[in-house]
Every structure is written in C-alpha cells, then in structure tokens.
Amino acid sequence: MSADVTKADQGAAATDANPSANPPNDPSGTHGLAGTGPAVAAADAKPREKGGIGAFLSGSAGRSTGLVIALIVLIIVGIVTGGDRFASTANALTVLRAGSVIGVVSIGMTFVICGGGIDLSVGAIVALSSVWATTLATQTLAADTHWIVLVFVALVVGAVCGLVNGVLIAYGKLAAFIATLAMLAAARGLAELIAQRRTQIVRDRDFINFFGGSVLGIPVLVIIFAVVAVIGWVLLNRTTFGRRTLAVGGNPEAARLAGIRVQRHTMYLYVLLGLACGLAAVMLMARTNTGTSTHGTLYELDAIAAVVIGGTLLSGGRGTIVGTVIGVLIFTTLTNVFTLNNLDTSTQAVAKGAIIVAAVLLQQRVSRPSRT
C-alpha cells in the first residue's frame, strides 16, 4: 500500500475513533464554530451544485468526448476537401505512422507535465540518441552481434539525458524550463559534434526490415505507439506510481507530507521521458534509415501541444493518456489535411498556434469552477 493511501486511511481511522471531533448535535459538521457554519457549508456546497453541461464538460468523459468530436469534424473536413485522397486506408495508415513517433514522446511528456514539470529538450534528446545509435562503432558492434544493440544504445542515451535533467531539477533545484533548455542546446550540439554535421545511414537491414514491416497490415511503428499508450495508461491510472505522479504535480508539499519522496519521483519522471525519447529515436531511425542531429526538430512544441490539447493541466496534478493520444491524432490529421490541400507550413503553424491558445483558454475556463 502506498504511503499516501496509508496516511489517508490513518486519518479516516482517527476520525472514526474520536466521535467527539464531530458532535452529533452539530449537523453542519463545523465543529461548533458558531456563525461560520452556514457560510462554510454553503461554500462547500457550491462545487456540488455544479451540474448539467458544465459538470459533464469538466469531467474526463466530457473532455474526451469533446476531443473525439473535434477529431470527427476534422476528418469530415478532410473528406470534403481531400476526397478519396484523404478517405483511403493508405492515407489513414500514413497519418498513424506519422503520428507514432511524436506520439511516443507525447506519452512520456504527459507524465512530466502531470508531475508539474516541463521538458524542452525532447527533440534534442531524440537527435542525440539517433546519432549515437548510428555511429560506426555502434553499427559495427550491432553487425557482430544483433541489431538490438542499436535499440539498447538509443534507450540508454535517452535515459541518461533524462537522468541528468531529473537530477538538475529535483536535486539541483533548477527551474525545469532552464535545465531542459540547457539540455536542448547541449544535446543538439553534442549530436552535431558526433555526427560532424553529416547524416549517418543505418546499414543493418534486419533492423530496418523489422521496424519497417507490418503485422496484419498494421505498421510496426503504429503497434509500438499503441503498446506504449496502453502501458502509459495503466501506469498512470492503475499503479501507485501514477497516483504519486498526480499527487506530486497537484501539491508537492502535501505529497511530501504524505510520505512521497518528491525529489526522487520527479527524477524518475524525467528518466521515463528520456526512455520515451530513446524509443522515438529508434522509430525515427527506422522511418528514415538515418541518424542525424536534425532529427526531432520542434518535437518539444508538438509534444507539449498534443498533451495540452488532450486535457492535461500545464500546472500539473491532472492528466490523461487517452486525451494525449487523441491530441496527437488531431494534430497529425490537421497536418495531413493541410498537406493534401497544398497549404504551406507557415499556414499550418498559424493554425496550430491558434488551436493551442484556444485549448488553453478552454482548459482554464473549464477547470476554474472545479477549484472554487
């Protein structure tokens, strides 16, 4: 049983064991504070009075429903404007394959933001992992043993970068924005030094054939994204680790008093995101057959945008893996619709910016009543 649950149970047990703490002749339960009882009761009753559409929209089901409706509207727009070019199985698989890499990064980012943090270095970590995994030494070792060496190296590089971020933020007391901004510059620069600003080709055909293949018509990259999303959902919603993540993001001091080691847990969150970046690097290497320092450019913005669109609070304490997955699909579908209609990348960027602002404003409006 987790420490926070233990504390809660102890508090409930203490209340049950001391009936005088809530006298029977005090129906308001305000412990005899004359004059303040009705006011406190009225204040406590306000959140309960919330109902109807507002209550539905502020719940997780309402937020997910709104995202699904937005995705359906986007698909309808794509069908109307793109015709058969959009409404085809091949295009659907293209959208899913395109969203799989940033989707894995976004799942990891969801945990960090739920824990009250932020990471601006994910794109640079992806680039560094891809470069390090495709160096001549690594590929020679993989050729002599097994292509899994490439995967292992990418995951280790990502995890070490996440560990450095986590240590600096949790124990070094650096602001997450500053620490990860420094990692962004350092990792991208180190990737350029290792690769000498050149593109490194993946020569292991078994590696390319495995990750570039498909199972029952579904690309392996999409399957990896689905598996990571399921694992992320279970980890966030069905484990002590997930409950502690939400507790740390919601109120770090209360989490500390409940017995959670906030610093160590924060470090774990960044290591987890680093692992996700390493896996994304492997997927990107399989898609492009290359490792280069330009991989993952602006991934940090895409990942944060998908997480925010999905309904995760930027301030931490609340998050949803399902929402993040739908957020990734919304952005990927939007890009696909724009591409099919020959709209330039500048227009796409403006549209994405407008959607992010609208999502944050809606998030603030929906979350405000629930906190009163």
At residue 32, the pLDDT reads 36
Q: What is the mean pLDDT of residues 198-218?
A: 88
More confident residue, 21 or 122: 122
Say if 121 falls within a structural domain. Answer: yes
Say if 27 falls within a structural domain. Answer: no
Among the listed residues 99, 101, 159, 176, the one whose alpha carbon sits nearest the alpha carbon of residue 125: 159
Integer CA distances (angstroms), 87 to 79, 82, 219, 222, 335, in order:
6, 8, 18, 19, 15
CA angle 278, 297, 341 (to 5 degrees): 120
Local structure of residue 31 (DSSP, 8 states): T
Number of domains in the chain: 1
At residue 73, the pLDDT reads 84
Say if 166 falls within a structural domain. Answer: yes
Say if 223 falls within a structural domain. Answer: yes
| Cβ atoms within 10 Å, residue 279 | 24
How many whole angstroms separate alpha carbon 187 and alpha carbon 165? 11
**pLDDT tens per residue across span 270-325:** 999 999 999 999 999 999 999 898 998 889 988 998 998 888 888 888 888 999 99
How many whole angstroms separate alpha carbon 292 and alpha carbon 229? 26
pLDDT, averaged across the chain: 81
Which residue segment(s) compose the domain that 353 sits in?
70-367
**pLDDT tens per residue across span 34-57:** 333 443 344 344 444 455 655 655
Say if 90 falls within a structural domain. Answer: yes
At residue 38, the pLDDT reads 42
How many whole angstroms separate alpha carbon 139 and alpha carbon 130? 12
158 pLDDT above the threshold of 80 = yes
Q: Which uninterrupted H or E stretch holds 290?
A: strand 290-291
134 pLDDT above the threshold of 50 = yes
Integer CA distances (angstroms), 172 to 77, 113, 250, 268, in order:
49, 19, 21, 15
Where residue 324 sits, what CATH number does that domain have?
1.10.3470
More confident residue, 356 or 260: 260
Say if 281 falls within a structural domain. Answer: yes
Say if 40 falls within a structural domain. Answer: no
At residue 54, the pLDDT reads 59
How many whole angstroms separate alpha carbon 214 and alpha carbon 228? 17
Instruction: Tell me the DSSP string of 168-235.
Output: HHHTS---HHHHHHHHHHHHHHHHHHHHTT-PEEP--HHHHHHHT-EETTEEHHHHHHHHHHHHHHHH
255 pLDDT above the threshold of 60 = yes
Among the listed residues 126, 124, 144, the one whose alpha carbon sits nearest the alpha carbon of residue 136: 144
More confident residue, 346 or 31: 346
Beta bridge partners of residue 200, listed in sequence order: 291
At residue 243, the pLDDT reads 92
Token pair, residue 162, equals: 């996440």
Token pair, residue 257, equals: 């008093």
Say if 37 falls within a structural domain. Answer: no
How many whole angstroms separate alpha carbon 15 and alpha carbon 52? 34
**pLDDT tens per residue across span 96-118:** 988 999 999 999 999 999 999 99
15 pLDDT above the threshold of 50 = no
User: What pTM, to 2 d.p., does this model score?
Assistant: 0.79
